[in-house]
Amino acid sequence: MAAVVVAVLASVVVISYSGWWNPSNTESLAGRDPANAELYIDPDMQSIAAAREDARFDPIATTPQAKWFTDWSTSETVQDDVGDYLDGAAAADAVPTVVLYRIPQRDCGSWSTGGAADEQEYRDWVKGAAAELKGHDDALVIIEPDALPQLGKCEQGDRLDTLTFAVDALATTGARVYIDAGHENWLSAAEAADRLSKVGVDKVRGFSLNVAAHYTTQREIAYAEDVRSELSKLGITDVHYVIDTGRNGAGPQGDNCNPPGARLGHEPQLFEGDALDGFLWVKNPGETDGACRGGPASGFWAPAALDLLGLDQDERTSSQLSAGWIRLGAVGGAGLVGLVAWALARRRTRDRLRGAAEHAARQVP
């Protein structure tokens, strides 16, 4: 009996932690060479804390994601804040992904409203972040998601000048810097190229797309190449890009604020030898988009995470199932039955997740 229990337990471990992506999927479907570098998993991610309470969130908690520096990080603390994160990545020998998201009049008063009080405070903040990033040529830095596409949407001062200042400051760091350019359904490729050129995309690595959005990877790659073509007409060549694939597994959604139909997309992967530098999870999956659809204004929100995983809201947690098995285990043979049931439940969860990933995979050329 003990041997059988051990064998079944071993299978449970494999089911639970072997992963729900085939590591070769992204490589072969993208048709590009994966870079020999691991992205950093920040131990302070909110999904990690959530997964300690509910193992269903493990696929999110164990996947590298970006670190957002927003209003919680001030001009006085930003150097320490960024430095602590970079130190953690260096200790893990992994690539950090930094998102700077504090421009004045951020999101024009919408779900992610906020930002620095004025342009001078923002400039001081950016200078502090740039000072700490200097010499970190492995770091990925995404500048102000949505700020460039929202140009002129609200009273925002001289946003072009503000963004140009940020680009200039970060261009001196050696980091791989990307200016956010929205997504395929926001600006035409020509307009995106024009705006990118005005803020100095030629001084940095390139641009980012699909941050916090849900457009398919295939179409975002096509859009990115159109933007690059328009940039070349302006005399700007050798521009690279990254795509947020964290929540685009089910394609475009009717509402981008905590949409229940969204699913996880391709796992993060860096590439080399091509204009596409990587798929990233920029927007942290499972964290709310704002106070919509019953969600909180900020933070990890279990219903959104369960939606992305394709799980039912009322399904018992893995920890509950595990506890049920332990209770049954006290009565001998019944314990084995409980363990097998738990393993099957975990397998069903994995199959649902794999189905979501395979659906996303079919979207990539």
Among 129, 193, 198, 204, CA closest to 161: 198
Residues with Cβ within 8 Å of 252's Cβ and at least 6 positions away in sequence, in order, are 185, 214, 215, 216
Residue 137 bears catalytic tag: no
Strand partners, 106: 114
Among 16, 98, 20, 15, CA closest to 264: 20
343 with 318: CB under 8 angstroms?
no
Strand partners, 269: 279
The separation between CA 300 and the C-alpha centre of its own chain, rounded to angstroms, equals 13
Q: Count Cα neighbours of 165 within 13 Å in the Cβ-side half-sphere.
A: 17
Distance CA 194, CA 114 (A): 26
Strand partners, 95: 39
* Phi, psi for 75 (deg, rounded to 5): -60, -30
E strand or H helix at 194, and its extent?
helix 189-198
**Which residue out of 42, 58, 81, 146 is catalytically annotated?**
146
SS (H, E, C) 298-334: CCECHHHHHHHHCCCCCCCCHHHHHHHHHHHHCCCHH
Distance CA 257, CA 292 (A): 6
Q: Beta strands 140-143 and 176-180: pairing type?
A: parallel
Q: How many residues does the chain have?
A: 365
Point out the residues that are catalytic: 146
